[in-house]
Amino acid sequence: MILRIDHVAVAVRDYDKAFSFFSRLFGAVPGSSFEDPRLKYRWQLMSLGDLSRFELLVSTGSGSFLEGFLAHREGGVHHITLQTPDIQKAAKILDGSGIPYFGYNEYGNNWKELFIHPRDAFGVLIQIAEFNADDWLSQAVKMPGEKKFEVTRDGEGCTLSFAHPGGGTVKISLTNDEIKKLRSDLNIIKN
């Protein structure tokens, strides 16, 4: 039912301060961002390293659903987003297990979601969503074009970069001896 944890959402009062903190100090790379005037909030997806992501949430006006959450704190973990390959199947599994959910939404073909309330998930708000992760990431953290891998040679060996099915890339550095072993293993497959 679940492919992986996609991101952790952090609600903050001071968006500019939080954005600067995570991007300047930790090198977080901004991806997609959206402001929802109806729900009165903005989200900003941020990538850290090869495969880690989080989302900044900030209220954009009075009446935002974040007001209660931020009433007595500067910020904190708001929810965890789990990626599913099939939101309808996930909903059926939850129904069959007697786990209530709410907030089912479909935003075109790009995003389908539902939520499990913290009272039903051990104190954690869980968002389950069906989506293609690369649709939401910065070009700086994705493989260029339709490539699945890339090899970059350096003095001590090489770095292999792979497109990850969860979006983004993962990099592996190999020494010259490890390259020889990989070639040998690939020749076995070829024959």
Residues 94 and 156 in one domain: no
* Predicted pLDDT of residue 62: 95
* Predicted pLDDT of residue 109: 84
With a CB cutoff of 8 Å and minimum separation 6, the contacts of 97 are: none
List the beta bridge partners of residue 111: 107
Instruction: Report the candidate in 130, 61, 60 with the shortest Cα–Cα distance to residue 90.
Output: 130
- Paired tokens of 100: 């209530």
Residues 13 and 30 in one domain: yes
* Predicted pLDDT of residue 98: 97
Residues 76 and 102 in one domain: yes
pLDDT by residue, tens only, the chain of 191 residues: 999 999 999 999 999 999 999 999 999 999 999 999 999 999 999 999 888 999 999 999 999 999 999 999 999 999 999 999 999 999 999 999 999 999 999 988 899 999 999 999 999 999 999 999 888 899 999 998 889 999 999 888 999 999 998 899 999 999 999 999 999 999 888 66
Residues 158 and 69 in one domain: no
* Predicted pLDDT of residue 77: 97
- Paired tokens of 149: 């891998």
Residues 94 and 114 in one domain: yes
Phi, psi of 179, rounded to the nearest 5 degrees: -65, -45
Residues 98 and 127 in one domain: yes
Q: Which range of residues forms the domain containing residue 12?
A: 4-136
CATH number where 115 lies = 3.10.180.10
Residues 158 and 131 in one domain: no
Q: Which residues in 85-110 are b (16+ Cβ under 10 Å) and which e?
A: eebeebbeebeeeeeebeeeeeeeee
Give per-residue pLDDT as tens, 92-109.
999 999 999 999 999 888
Residues 97 and 129 in one domain: yes
Residue type at 69?
F
Alpha helices in the chain (DSSP H): 15-20, 26, 67-70, 87-96, 176-190
pTM of the entire predicted model: 0.86
Which residue do the tokens 């900044």 mark?
56
Residues 42 and 125 in one domain: yes
* Predicted pLDDT of residue 51: 84
Residues 125 and 155 in one domain: no
